[in-house]
Amino acid sequence: MHLNPCVLSRRDVANNKTVEEPASTCLEARPVLYPPSLRLVVLSSAYVKTGTVGIITSTQATSGWGCLGRNQSYCPLFTLMEDDELEEIHCELIFRQSDETYHLKDRKSKSGTYLNGQKLRKNDKKRICHGDVLRIGESRFLIHIHQGAETCSQCEQRETQDDPLPAPSAAELADAPPAGAIPSTELAVCSESSKAGENFIVLTVSMRT
């Protein structure tokens, strides 16, 4: 007999027949929600091509693999080993599972870790939001946070790898987020109240505003 997972059956004893009723909840209709992923879009760097995107998943950011720095073994997302202003492990991006938010932690760096132009205290941790700008050493990154594998026009994969990348604007050369860089999304709102062996994904995208 075929069973519909969205229908409950009960026995009508008085009439000696089986009556099917709609279930109050249906497993097939429940959406699958994945934790947000973080993307770092290179705004400017002496070592990484402008427009390159590095993706950090929530799993990586909860298991110590969300680090940026010169040590390629522990910081494989971008090749920054030639930047003398950086520490071996300069800063870390951490995912907090309790409220599904990302946080930036300075790892006692000498040159500092800057979020939207403000320097973090050594070993300090601060919540980061969609549209923030991170600067370490000679590299600046635009932070994008999207649910699961979702993207937007600024951090999606380019159709061809040979498309020319536009020169950064004056706003992008400052530590403030570029004008119009934050699309309309619930993840754009932010307030302070609130594994080894995994593959890191690096894409190249066009910076459209």
**Which CATH number goes with the domain that contains 58?**
2.60.200.20
- Answer whether residue 4 is part of any domain: no
Q: Quick one: pLDDT at residue 18?
A: 60
| Three-class SS state of 126 | strand
- Answer whether residue 157 is part of any domain: yes
Q: Where are the alpha helices (DSSP H) in the chain?
A: 58-62
The residue with tokens 């994945």 is 34
Q: Are strands 36-45 and 139-147 parallel, antiparallel or unpaired?
A: antiparallel
Q: Domain total for the chain?
A: 1
- What span, in angstroms and rounded, lies between the C-alpha atoms of 206 and 88? 29
- Answer whether residue 10 is part of any domain: no
R_g (Cα) of the chain, nearest Å: 23
Most confident of 55-59, 113-117, 186-190: 113-117
- Answer whether residue 24 is part of any domain: no
Give per-residue pLDDT as tens, 77-110: 999 999 999 999 999 999 999 999 999 999 999 9
Q: Are 190 and 177 in contact (CB under 8 A)?
A: no
What is the domain extent for residue 129? 36-204
